[in-house]
């Protein structure tokens, strides 16, 4: 069992962090293909560096009733249409810097058709169901530390950066630039967060705030009210140690300061280290890839377990083999705090989502929609479900069914 008193840390990165720029671009590609063909296949990797954007990977799209040659042409047409979408995504983040500019960065696209060997294992036919897009293990987690049923250290780390980004986009704090990182360390007593012991914020900035040089102390003074508004009363104390731009200067940043790649912030994307992770990234992958869809399903089920009051914490693991539709295993851990036998949940939970096959997960959560670019920053979990189906895995619509298991 977890020690009752301890100190724990999670970090987050902003939408302008180089790796998150890459994630945003890759998920923009996913949205473009799924908007054109809900059954499209996408595995897109992005590299961003000083004034360069490079895409690579495998894609496939088709039109109803079209032949093989027509579908190949359709896929090529979609690939050729991506550049303005990619540049618009970078512009939306806010990059108009000398070293990385949405309009001036060189663009190269090396996307090509999906492997026929992979396709034959994944696609449904008259003789078999749709198989998993890859082998692997996926995890889902929920806890009652925050109203979002997320680990507090990660949820606050995300929210700090969201507030700073909002102030930047609105013009309230024009000296802020897109690249930023946060880190929140909390002291826990009896398993509950009681105080922020350390707070780290590194935010890219202009050389000056108004007419004054942008020193770490001045950046801290400017952003402090926004940061303080994130935390519940009592968590920030006089003993909280603040580290704001601890290197002393953060003017050169983003892809100009450090290259970014898709899928390098998977702990930021999930649970901040408070729960296991299977190792697979989410961004750039269509929902036939269980790295993404099954991880969303596990979060959905774990969140509903906690929301139903069956446990204060819940971890779920699921595993698949490539080309096989039925999960190989399904495991529930209630961390010794459950109001129901975990084995009972292991039998009941998959049935609530159609047996947890890849196709059933996509149907239940409505994943064949262009809803992925919005997930690329500030976490895939702990978000509000959108009216158009975005973040559907954050719904708690299984609560009534699960309460009957207690």
Q: What is the DSSP string of 38-88?
A: TT-EEEEEEEEETTEEEEEEEEE---TT--HHHHHHHHHHHHHTHHHHHHH
Give the pLDDT score at 116: 61
State pLDDT tens for residues 215-224. 999 999 999 9
Give the pLDDT score at 1: 45
E strands of 234-312, at which residues? 241-244, 260-261
Neighbour tally for 385: CB within 10 Å: 14
Under the banding of pLDDT at 50, 70 and 90, the label for residue 79 is: very high
Give the pLDDT score at 150: 98
Tell me the C-alpha to C-alpha distance, in Å, between residue 165 and each of 57, 70, 186: 30, 43, 23
CATH for 136-144+290-403 (3.30.70.1450, 3.30.300.10, 3.30.360.10, 3.40.50.10470): 3.30.300.10
Neighbour tally for 48: CB within 10 Å: 27
Domain with CATH 3.30.300.10 in the chain: 6-14+151-254, 18-122, 136-144+290-403
Three-state SS for 167?
Answer: helix
Across residues 49-71, what is the average pLDDT?
Answer: 96
Rounded CA separation 286/401 (Å)? 29
Give the pLDDT score at 323: 85
Give the pLDDT score at 217: 94
Packing angle of the helix pair 342-352, 290-307 (nearest 10 deg): 120
Residue 126 pLDDT > 60: no
Q: Which residues are within 8 A (CB) of 22 and not within 5 positions of it... i.e. 6 or more apart? A: 45, 46, 47, 48, 260, 261, 262, 264, 283
Give the pLDDT score at 120: 54
Rounded CA separation 222/174 (Å)? 11
Q: Which fold has domain 6-14+151-254?
A: GMP Synthetase; Chain A, domain 3 (3.30.300)
Q: Which positions are annotated as active-site residues?
A: 17, 19-20, 45, 58, 181, 250, 258-259, 264-265, 285, 289, 291
Rounded CA separation 402/405 (Å)? 5
Strands 208-209 and 192-205 turn out to be: unpaired
Give the pLDDT score at 96: 97
Under the banding of pLDDT at 50, 70 and 90, the label for residue 129 is: low
pTM over 0.75: yes
What is the second-level CATH architecture of the domain 18-122?
A: 2-Layer Sandwich (3.30)
Give the pLDDT score at 114: 82
How open is the CA angle 179-170-161, to the nearest 5 degrees?
35
Q: With the C-alpha atoms ordered 86, 89, 91, 93, is the resulting torsion angle positive or negative? A: negative
Rounded CA separation 279/296 (Å)? 14
Strand partners, 132: 322
Neighbour tally for 365: CB within 10 Å: 22
State pLDDT tens for residues 247-295. 998 999 999 999 999 999 999 999 999 999 999 999 999 999 999 999 9
**CA atoms within 13 A of residue 389's CA, in its CB half-sphere:** 11
Rounded CA separation 281/270 (Å)? 10
Give the pLDDT score at 2: 66
Give the pLDDT score at 118: 59
Choose the weakest-confidence range: 97-106, 116-125, 317-326. Answer: 116-125
Which tokens is 69 given?
């040659």
Residue 239 pLDDT > 90: yes
Rounded CA separation 391/382 (Å)? 9
Number of H helices, E strands in the chain: 12, 13
Under the banding of pLDDT at 50, 70 and 90, the label for residue 211 is: confident
Q: Is residue 301 within 8 Å of 394, Cβ to Cβ?
A: no
């Amino acid at each position: 069992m977890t020690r009752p008193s301890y100190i724990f840390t999670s970090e987050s990165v902003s939408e302008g962090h180089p790796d998150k720029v890459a994630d945003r671009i890759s998920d923009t590609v996913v949205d473009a293909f799924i908007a054109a063909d809900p059954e499209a296949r996408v595995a897109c990797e992005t590299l961003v560096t000083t004034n360069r954007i490079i895409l690579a990977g495998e894609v496939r799209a088709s039109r109803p009733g079209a032949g093989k040659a027509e579908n190949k042409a359709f896929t090529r047409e979609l690939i050729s249409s991506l550049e303005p979408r990619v540049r618009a995504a970078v512009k939306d983040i806010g990059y108009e810097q000398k070293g990385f500019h949405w309009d001036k960065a060189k663009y190269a696209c090396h996307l090509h058709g999906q492997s026929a060997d992979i396709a034959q294992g994944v696609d449904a036919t008259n003789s078999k169901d749709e198989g998993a897009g890859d082998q692997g293990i996926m995890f889902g987690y929920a806890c009652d530390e925050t109203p979002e049923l997320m680990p507090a250290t990660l949820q606050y780390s995300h929210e700090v950066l969201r507030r700073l980004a909002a102030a930047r986009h609105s013009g309230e704090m024009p000296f802020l630039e897109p690249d930023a990182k946060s880190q929140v360390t909390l002291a826990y007593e009896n398993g509950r967060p009681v105080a922020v012991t350390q707070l780290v914020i590194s935010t890219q900035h202009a050389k000056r705030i108004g007419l004054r040089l942008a020193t770490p102390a001045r950046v801290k003074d400017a952003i402090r009210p926004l940061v303080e508004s994130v935390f519940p009363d009592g968590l920030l104390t006089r003993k909280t140690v603040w580290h704001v731009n601890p290197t002393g200067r953060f003017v050169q940043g983003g892809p100009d300061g450090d290259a970014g790649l898709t899928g390098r912030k998977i702990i930021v994307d999930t649970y901040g280290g408070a729960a296991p992770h299977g190792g697979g990234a989410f961004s750039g992958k269509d929902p036939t890839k269980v790295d993404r869809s099954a991880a969303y399903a596990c979060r959905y089920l774990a969140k509903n377990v906690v929301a139903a009051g069956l446990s204060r914490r819940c971890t779920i693991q699921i595993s698949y083999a490539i080309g096989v539709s039925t999960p190989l295993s399904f495991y529930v851990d209630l961390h010794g705090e459950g109001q129901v036998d975990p084995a009972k949940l292991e039998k009941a939970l998959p049935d609530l989502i159609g047996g947890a096959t890849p196709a059933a997960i996509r149907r239940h959560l409505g994943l064949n929609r262009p809803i992925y670019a919005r997930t690329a920053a500030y976490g895939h979990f702990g978000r509000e479900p959108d009216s158009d189906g975005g973040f559907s895995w954050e719904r708690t619509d299984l609560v009534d069914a699960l309460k009957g298991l207690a």
